[in-house]
Amino acid sequence: MSRLKLSGVSKRYGDFFAVDSINLELQSGEFVSLLGPSGCGKTTTLRMIAGFADPTAGIIEMDGQVLSSPAGSVPPDRRQMSMIFQSYAIWPNMTVQQNVAFGLELRRMRNAEVKRRVGEMLEVVHMNHLADRYPAELSGGQQQRVALARAIVVRPDTLLLDEPLSNLDANLREQMRFEIRRVHDETGITMVYVTHDQVEAMSMSQRIAVMRDGRIQQYDRPEAIYRYPGSRFVASFIGSPGINLYEGDLISREGALHFVAPGVDLPLTGALVERLSEPAGAKVTLGVRPEDVLLHLEGGPPDALVGRVTVVESLGPETIVTLETTLGDVTTRVRGMQPIDFAMVARACGATGLSVERPEDCGRVIEQALATPGPVLVEAVVDPHEPPMPPKVRAEQALHFAESLARGTPNRGKIALTVASDTVRELV
């Protein structure tokens, strides 16, 4: 039996469906995320599960018992659930230990038992040593851990979390992701986690319900959502940098299906074909994740799609390279910092590579370019002492530099390319 089951649940405000006929089932002990952009109905769904809002239509059940139906609702305090909100207000006039004990005292538990349970709980969230501090003496992450302890200490069957990490900075968020997951694994509490952050959903959940406009678009394991998105929306909502999407035709030729679009004729293989629901002849969209594109600076296979590098972003652990091709823009990701080797690009284009490192070298390089037979590629190196700029601005600057370089020459065709700086190289 599923722990929690929503069947055809809707919430309407006037004519507007904040939640539109959703179905969702969770197993006992499962960690499920509701993921979607702001306004898609996540909080409304969570509030209906908690009993703070009644559905306009549909049924919510827990362990086979009806919690909400058009006929009536079980009140929130009888649902065995705790909820953590985005603004994790813990009581400022109580110490950590008093905050966590409060819910147990409300339940008239014996003092010794309260003490024991609070001690255990503070251990789980690694806050024992700060038990006597007041909230004002704690960091955001520590306060969030107190909120977590306070919600869990009453041993709810189900914990509902509404964007609990969105007020924390990036480092703390990462740490708290890990802590919440650990608490889940240690307590086995069923958790419904609301977030608009795909990284949170992907890294913590056993299953993710991707929501849009009040509806669940796809409900599946994180890997499945990533590998086999069920719609264009899910495909582009998950993954950063985003998936590459191309319109084309599905064509049957010599017993095989091909995706055909300007510049590509891609025979489709096993797993992909099995999942296709469209017949041959249909217009389809091809989605390619950036890490699935193999980038060859030279010596690529003969049927490779040929492109012009437009932007290179070195992010440290990886480099994002965007190319312009007949098919459209192609974003690829490459492990590590791999600045494009200018000499290699020049060779790949069958050209001679020249560099301009200082503006005063311009004239000399132009003379040199004109004297060189065949095409010439000129690399314009942006001054490394300039303040950091976003990649696109640097690319534009490089382009501008190349144009002014080209304007000064009688033989414009000679200068085919400019490449700028260590981080951005723009080809013209």
Q: Residues in the site for ligand ADP, rule: CB under 6 A?
A: 13, 18, 36, 38-44
- Asked if 260 and 283 touch (Cβ cutoff 8 Å), the reply is no
Concatenated DSSP letters of 291-355: GGPPP-SSS--TTPPPEEEEEEEE-SSEEEEEEEETTEEEEEEEES-----HHHHHHHTT-EEEE
Q: Which is nearer to Mg ion, 43 or 68 (CB)?
A: 43
The minimum distance between CB 236 and ligand ADP, in angstroms, equals 18
For residue 335, the tally of other CB atoms under 10 A from its CB is 9
Q: Which is nearer to Mg ion, 162 or 179 (CB)?
A: 162
Segment lying near Mg ion (by CB under 5 A), choices 43-51, 93-101, 118-126, 208-216: 43-51
- Indicate the residue whose CB is closest to Mg ion: 43
The minimum distance between CB 199 and ligand ADP, in angstroms, equals 17
The minimum distance between CB 76 and ligand ADP, in angstroms, equals 17
Residue 93 contact among Mg ion, ligand ADP, none, beta carbon within 5 to 8 Å by kind: none
- Asked if 340 and 427 touch (Cβ cutoff 8 Å), the reply is no
The minimum distance between CB 194 and ligand ADP, in angstroms, equals 7
Q: Which is nearer to ligand ADP, 202 or 288 (CB)?
A: 202
CA distance 19 to 16: 9
Q: Which of 10, 33, 43, 217 binds Mg ion (CB under 5 A)?
A: 43
Buried-state track 105-142, b at ≥16 Cβ within 10 A, e below 16: eeeebeeeebeebbeebbebbebeebbeebbeebeebb
Residue 333 contact among ligand ADP, Mg ion, none, beta carbon within 5 to 8 Å by kind: none
The minimum distance between CB 87 and ligand ADP, in angstroms, equals 14
Buried-state track 366-383, b at ≥16 Cβ within 10 A, e below 16: beebeeeeebbbbbbbbe
Residue 378 contact among ligand ADP, Mg ion, none, beta carbon within 5 to 8 Å by kind: none
Tokens encoding 90: 């813990």
Q: Which is nearer to ligand ADP, 38 or 171 (CB)?
A: 38
Q: Which is nearer to ligand ADP, 34 or 311 (CB)?
A: 34
Asked if residue 44 binds Mg ion (CB under 5 A), the reply is no
Residue 18 contact among Mg ion, ligand ADP, none, beta carbon within 5 to 8 Å by kind: ligand ADP
Phi (first) and psi of residue 204, to 5 degrees: -105, -30
- Asked if 417 and 401 touch (Cβ cutoff 8 Å), the reply is no
Kind and range of the H or E element at 11?
Answer: strand 4-13
- Asked if 40 and 16 touch (Cβ cutoff 8 Å), the reply is no
How far does the chain reach from its first CA to its final CA, in angstroms?
Answer: 62
The minimum distance between CB 89 and ligand ADP, in angstroms, equals 18
The minimum distance between CB 59 and ligand ADP, in angstroms, equals 19
Segment lying near Mg ion (by CB under 5 A), choices 41-49, 173-181, 377-385, 416-424: 41-49
Task: Write the single-letter amino acid at 190.
Answer: T
- Which residues of the chain form contacts with Mg ion (CB under 5 A)? 43
